Amino acid sequence: MKSFKGKTLRWEWREGCIELTLDHEPANEIGTAMLEELEIFAGGFGTLAPETSACIISSARKSVFSAGGDLRELYHHAMSIPEGERLKGIRRFLERIHAVMNAIDATPFVTIAAVHGACFGGGLELALACDIIVADKMARFAFPELRLGFIPGFGGVPRLKRDLGNAVVRDLLFTGRTLNASRAHALGLVAQLAGEGEALRVARSTATQVSKYDPVARAAAKEFMKPVPHEELREEIDIFCELFTRPEVMAALKKFVEDSGPMPYLP
């Protein structure tokens, strides 16, 4: 499938490059609907890979790449089912999103996240699955999950640890603070800084450059440089599920869902 237009995202293959655009109101939250369409997207890699050199993931939403997992859906779904069944449901969701992230992580072509605005939680985890992050200078990154009593669940910690020093990972996780693009660039999280509104253009230019090189060498280099941390990813799912069963988590989710303040991501 060389093009697709769903309810939460769309993609188009053109001259060896797939452009995936997240477009789900209000802030590209990753819930069941986006997961289903990401699964369709990842399911097409096998067919598209031989004629693809790069894939760019960007957002059509103003001021945001992705705010992360759909916490409102998570809360309302959890409240609608018996307490004993919650864990089964969340584990199934995590298994599915991990399969998508792992597929994006391991593609033989080069994946580029073109980030502008807020890139939080699951949104940052999606960007981290990519090979290269190009960020608009107004982009901000954060892992605010600990405020809700759990850890990032879409593969974020193992992938952030793969790319950055553990001290930075601890700072981001323990404070939940947002990191600006310049700082993220200085730390090595962001590969290329772009001017305001220029991230997608820079990503396209990078994709064009990438396409000039031998695909076999490119795939071998990627496999060598960027191994998928499968064992830690499995462990992450277990830890998330263990934390999620605590009543503190539902209380924190309720507070978040009901919060209409200007900084709801930071308690």
Minimum CB distance to another protein smaller for 28 or for 111: 28
User: Measured from the CB of residue 75, what is the shortest distance to another protein in angstroms?
Assistant: 18
Least separation in angstroms between residue 215's CB and another protein is 37
Phi, psi at 195, each rounded to 5°: -70, 175
CA distances from residue 153 to 3, 186, 191, 240 in whole angstroms, order as listed: 29, 26, 24, 6
Q: How far is the CB of 63 from another protein (least distance, A)?
A: 4
Is there binding between residue 82 and another protein (CB under 8 A)? no
Pick from 137, 162, 226, 255: which binds another protein (CB under 8 A)?
137
Residue 47 or residue 182: which is nearer to another protein going by CB?
Answer: 182
- State residue 134 phi and psi, 5-degree precision: -105, 125
Work out how close the CB of 190 gets to another protein at its nearest, in angstroms, rounded to a whole number. Answer: 13
Q: Is 152 in the site for another protein (CB under 8 A)?
A: no
- For the bound state, the minimum distance from the C-beta of residue 211 to another protein, rounded and expressed in Å, comes to 32
Among 3, 47, 182, 245, contact with another protein (rule: CB under 8 A): 182
Binding span for another protein by CB under 8 A among 41-49, 73-81, 138-146, 231-239:
138-146
Q: Does 205 bind another protein (CB under 8 A)?
A: no
Based on the shown chain and the rule CB under 8 A, indicate whether residue 139 belongs to the binding site for another protein.
yes
Among 24, 86, 98, 140, binds another protein (CB under 8 A): 140
How many residues contact another protein, by CB under 8 A?
A: 22
Among residues 63, 166, 209, 245, the one that binds another protein under rule CB under 8 A: 63
> Quick check: 265 binds another protein (CB under 8 A)?
yes
Q: Interface with another protein includes 178 (CB under 8 A)?
A: yes
DSSP per-residue string spanning the chain: --EEE-SSEEEEEETTEEEEEE--TTT--BSHHHHHHHHHHHHTHHHHGGG-SEEEEEE-STTEEE--B-HHHHHHHHHHS-HHHHHHHHHHHHHHHHHHHHHHHT-SSEEEEEE-SEEETHHHHHHHHSSEEEEETT-EEE--GGGGTS---SSHHHHHHHHS-HHHHHHHHHH---EEHHHHHHHTS-SEEE-TT-HHHHHHHHHHHHTTS-HHHHHHHHHHH----HHHHHHHHHHHHHHHTSHHHHHHHHHHHH--SS-TT--
> By the criterion CB under 8 A, which residues form the site for another protein?
27, 63-64, 117-118, 137-140, 175, 177-178, 180-183, 261-266
